[in-house]
Amino acid sequence: MSNVTVISLGGSIVAPREADVSFLKQFRETVNTYLDEDRDRGLIFIVGGGGPARAYQRAYRELTENQAETEQQDWIGIAATRLNGELIRGLFLKRCPSPLVTNPHEVPVFSGAIMVAAGWKPGFSTDNDAVILAERFSADTVINLSNISQVYTADPKEDPEAVPLDRISWKEFRKLVGETWEPGKNVPFDPVATRRAAELHLTVITAAGRDIDNLNALLRGEPFTGTVIGPD
């Protein structure tokens, strides 16, 4: 497999509250069409936890009266990523013969056209898993699909003057996301993954995952809407 694309598939677009069947039908058709065009293409999906992760983590915090253990919150989120991951893998069983990857350091031979991975262990998000797999399979770019169309200069929900960015360096991006990972933290790309991606001189493209036309453009190297995060 010489043309592998790594995609961090945000749980917020797979299951914002519950599995989004309408979107997933379009997503499956788009992926199958892309792979049918060239048998040398391969896709690695790393799937996030989305609504189920947030709901169960919130319930845990309420039930423990805000004395929730961070590690246990992470395990709850990881379980949600694996549920969503099995759903995505199930959409492409003929193209994805390998089991769901739950440890990015112990990956099977990439024998099909698709590999699907989910959360690994506490202290890391699926963004970090995507970076590890990009390094493992010599990919220089990670496409990060979520409910965020672009990176902004600040949180637009808190700062009405925040503006979208077409490009940002890792140095400046790290100032935006900070250095510490927290379960359920809502950032375009998590701090731990950001640090490692910068060290590897990777490029990360963040874009709106529900925009199927934009996804087609991203996969084919055509003009797209999103933010390119790259080496300084």
Q: Residue 187 pLDDT > 80, yes or no?
A: no
Tokens encoding 215: 């996804």
Q: Kindly report, residue by residue over 10-57, the tens digit of the pLDDT.
A: 999 999 999 999 999 999 999 999 999 999 999 999 999 999 999 999
Q: Kindly report, residue by residue over 194-216, the tens digit of the pLDDT.
A: 999 999 999 999 999 999 999 99
CB burial string 180-211: b at 16+ within 10 A, e below = ebebeeebbbbbbbbbbbbeeebbbbbbbbbb
Look up the pTM and report it: 0.92
Cβ atoms 5, 40 nearer than 8 A? no
Q: Where are the domains of the chain?
A: 3-230
Q: What is the CATH number of domain 3-230?
A: 3.40.1160.10
Q: Kindly report, residue by residue over 116-145, the tens digit of the pLDDT.
A: 999 999 888 899 999 999 999 999 999 999
